[in-house]
Amino acid sequence: VRKLYHEQLQRWESQARGYLANETLMAELVRKPSWPSSTGEFPACRLAALSVEERQDARVRARLKGPAMMHLGLIARDLWVYGSSSPFAPDAMIASRRKKIEAKGQNATDDEVCRAVVDSSLRTNKEWNAAAEARAAQQQGYVEETLWLYLWPSVGLALAAYLAQLLWARLCGHYTGAVAKADKQVAEDSANPSSASEPQVHKSKAAARGAAALGLNTAAAASRPGASSTARRRSGTPG
The domain spans of the chain are 2-140, 197-239
Is the pLDDT assigned to residue 210 strictly greater than 70?
A: no
CB 115 within 8 A of CB 51: no
The whole-number pLDDT of residue 231 equals 46
Torsion of CA 64, 69, 70, 76, to 10 degrees: 100
Write the Ramachandran bin of 226: left for phi over 0, alpha for psi from -120 to 50, otherwise beta: left
Largest interatomic CA distance in the chain = 149
If one compares 225 and 93, the residue with the highest pLDDT of the two is 93
For 12-34, write each residue's pLDDT tens digit.
888 888 888 877 777 776 555 55
CA-to-CA separations, 7 to 55, 87, 115, 126, 216, in angstroms, rounded: 11, 23, 22, 16, 115
* Residue 109 scores a pLDDT above 60: yes
Distances (CA, A) of 189 to 32, 114, 178, 204, 210: 97, 92, 17, 20, 29
Most confident of the following: 25-39, 79-93, 205-219: 79-93
Q: pTM above the 0.85 mark?
A: no
pLDDT at 32: 58
- pLDDT tens-digit readout, 146-187: 676 677 778 888 889 989 988 888 888 777 766 677 767 777
- What's the mean per-residue pLDDT of the chain? 70
pLDDT value of position 30: 59
Is the pLDDT reported for residue 11 higher than 60?
yes
Residue 186, CA distances (Å) to 175, 196, 197 in order: 17, 10, 14
